[in-house]
Amino acid sequence: MKRAHNKSGHFNLSILDNNSSEIEQWDTEQSTKLELAEGLIIGSPCFLPTTKDGRYTTRRRKVAYGYQIVAFKKFGRNMLIDATAAKRKDDISISHLCGTRNCCNPDHLVLETKTTNDERTHCHFGLKHAFAARGQSGIQDWDRSSCCPHRPKCGKLQ
Give the pLDDT of residue 14.
Answer: 87
- pTM to 2 decimals? 0.88
Give the pLDDT of residue 6.
Answer: 45
Q: Over 60: is that where the pLDDT of 8 sits?
A: no
Cis peptide before 152 (omega within 30 of 0): yes
Mean pLDDT confidence for 40-67: 93
When pLDDT is cut at 50, 70 and 90, the band that residue 112 belongs to is very high
More confident residue, 39 or 6: 39
Q: Over 70: is that where the pLDDT of 10 sits?
A: no
pLDDT tens-digit map of 122-157: 999 999 999 999 999 999 998 888 889 999 999 888
Q: Give me the residue spans of the domains in the chain.
A: 14-144
